[in-house]
Structure 1
Amino acid sequence: MQPKLQSYVALVDFLADFLGEQTEVVLQEITNDHHAEIVYIKNSISGRTIGSPGTDFLLRILQTKQYQTTDYLAHYTSKASNGKLLNSSSFFIKDEQAQLIGMLCINSDQSQLLELEKSLTQSLALLKGVMQPKQDEVIAQQIQENLYLSTDNVIEDAIFEVLGVYKFPETLVAKKDKLAIVERLYAKGFFELKDAVTKLAQAFKMSEVSIYKYIQEIKKDIKK
């Protein structure tokens, strides 16, 4: 092993220890005649050992001289002899003349993470379908239920639908608008609630008898 490469052995140990057993760290030596082989390796997940030859990737690097324009290549996919796909990165080690004399390669087995990601993606897609319908579906849907906090909220909602305000105005309101509000409340089943007529009479500042008359008018219209 060339002296300059020897200084990278401790770095290989450090990276292998830090990144964990699912990450292979390899030190390759390259001679002047482009012969390449592994001179040091930790956490061998590819099955390779010291003395194993260089890869086709390394041959392409030597052929294209890509190492002359960059110091490393990160996050490319490699495949082990067992078919396992790895996330790989390589650092180019050069001599004083900027010639490639070695490579420090990191190959990470992310198969477990990919399976976890796939599982999480499927789970999130399922949850999204339940919790958050597609936007066009939301637009197409009509609200079937309003979660009101009190009887007053029901009245306020009906007033807003007709008059565009939540509180019944102090000024004169036309009978047709009052009837429209009562009609909406009737459709909601509001008058099935206890004290509903009393609440509406208070909101309208009218007598309960007048509210009952409005209800009777609406019932007659429905029967027609």
Structure 2
Amino acid sequence: MTEDPSLPQQQRQRRTLPPRATVDGERLIAVFAELVEPLGRALPASSEVVLHDLSKLPDSIVAVQGDVTGRRLGDPATDLLLERVADGDLDHQLGYETRLPDGRRMQSSTMIIRDVSGHPVAALCINTDISAWLEVRRIADAMIAGPIEEPQERVPMRSTRPDGPPSAESFPHDVDELAAHLVHAALMEAGIEVDQMKKEHKLRFVETLQSKGFFMLREAVDMTAAALGVSRFTIYNYLNELDARASTTADPLTTEKASDKPR
């Protein structure tokens, strides 16, 4: 899809992929890619190691060992990783719980790899299926001390599908699946049917998708327009309006001048 040349430069840059890794970053990605297989083999068979090249988002998987989530080379990032990249929140996240659509519970960790200048270039993720161990613990605790309470989730849980169990993260196998999940989640967050939405509802819907990194995906504007039943140019207008609002909020001089105006 070709971007509308009338779009502000800042907006066009926001929807492009992150810049290519530096020479040092590419070296780090190559080194860690070679380590994924031996690291995966050193871990229990219920574990999976995945390496994401952040410059290739959304189809960012460049190495994988294990079959916990069934993903392969060239598959996309999870919704959680995409959102963190879009938000600039790229710190290590260790030992958080996630669930797969079939109900299996996993313990996951995401480690961010940075080049010598501190630029994030890759994410190394380890997912371990802990369902069997939780069942063993449940049985042991029942025999020794009676039933125990379920542990509290470490992160807010979201649904991977309308009828599925909750999860902090979805593990799509292609971009279409990732896009469908993000659109569905945004519609659920909106809490209103599309045919009942007014402009402000639609703006919030677009803003939600923007915050999740949705506009890094190919054909994102067209998919958003189809979900809302509007034209792609309407979506461009919404994005421009959101950019203008953000710029006004971020510019203290603009805010100060606005406050000086007679009321």
TM-score (structure 2 length as normaliser)? 0.43
| Larger of the two Rg values belongs to structure | 1
TM-score (structure 1 length as normaliser)? 0.50
